[in-house]
Structure 1
Amino acid sequence: MIESSADENEVLTPLKALISTDLVLASGSAARAALLTGSGLPFTVQAAEIDERVLKEAGRAAGDTPGTVALRLAAAKALDVSGRHADPDAVITGADQMLSCEGVWFDKPGSHSEARDQLMFLRGRTHYLHSAVVLCRGESVFWQHVSTCALTMRAFSDTFTDMYFALDGGACLSCVGAYRVEGPGVHLFERIEGDYSAILGLPMLPLLQALRAHGILAG
């Protein structure tokens, strides 16, 4: 676990009085942390240390759906952090996404060349983001959810693609599909259907409902 100060790592708000235990986000994703921060929930961040590619390859070999694999990845992240966290009663939330299009699964691009190839494949097509989130305590996952969103890219030109990469500045290399809907990537789309927070990587409404249903969050 990377140590950081309270100012860097913890969000202190009036909602702290409404949550019954420590909430830990098992992800280094800035977008997921921003969603939790925006909700006002107090939480800490501890990034998981798992080999995602191994789990994805195992899921593909087993014939699992992208949503099932996303749930497995989210659970693996949460359980990894739970096993290393100092407080055994802390509630850990793990999240992950899978992007699929016409039977093809996508990973984060490893280079600008791969990013361009991904965009060229997705251009003019509808793809699906399967966003999973789980809650665990100790060695047990006690809640899980997956949201699937449909995103249709417009038939943008090759010239626009060059402009997009210049505008993005390389940030898209950290994102599956080579885009950030919350950034310049929004220009790539013709239609988006689904929960915006799920598209960003953390389905907030189901998560908040689960925290209330399990007595972790009052109200």
Structure 2
Amino acid sequence: MQKQQLLYKGKAKSVYETDDNDFLILHFRDDTSAFNGERVEQLARKGQVNNRFNAFIMQKLADAGVETHFEKQLSENEVLVKRLEMIPVECVVRNYAAGSLVRRLGLEEGQALSPSTFELFYKDDALGDPMVNESLSISLGWATKEQLEEMQRLTYKVNDVLTAVFDQGGLMLVDFKLEFGVYHGRIVLGDEFSPDGCRIWDKETKKKLDKDRFRQSLGDVIEAYEEVAQRIGVPLD
């Protein structure tokens, strides 16, 4: 598989074409951003840590029957993935109140949500990824009713699988976001899973071990990512 021209450069990953139209190469960069790209810094080892973390999680999901775009890790910073037709609607599951939910509703951070909540957001950086609903998503042609139902089913399945994985490491999976796409007619998970796209706290101390350490200037961001990785068994060496 030969890497070809740059297709897209996101906030933390670069996407490259390959000589096979069914596959792409993702390059995990050390860039770290917050507040819709208003704050950007380089954090040493971040790309490598997130790439290995993501590969570990994708294997856990595949073992549980969740089809993902992940094919194989190519190097410390690169991974081969299926080329999907992405659906511009992001799925968010919340197991505990945090982030924008606390700000919107005035909830206490850490309040347990039972059952877990499911939300949809329209993927548009210029608009700040606004919250939407199923009706809007269907009416505006972003996704069909059947696609949204499958995305919700898969998101909850991911939550069940990964809540157990993190619990075994003494960690709380507070919330996370996922994106999906279509691959040969099937809905497939088309996102990474790392501490960049979820909230993870220590069960006992509630110490934040995710990207909120960067957003809130708490320090030791990559050290926190590595701690989570070590506690759930991600091989970093």
Structure with bigger helix share is: 1
TM-score, normalised via structure 1 length: 0.30
Q: Which has the higher contact order (CA 8 A, sep 6+)?
A: 1
TM-score, normalised via structure 2 length: 0.29
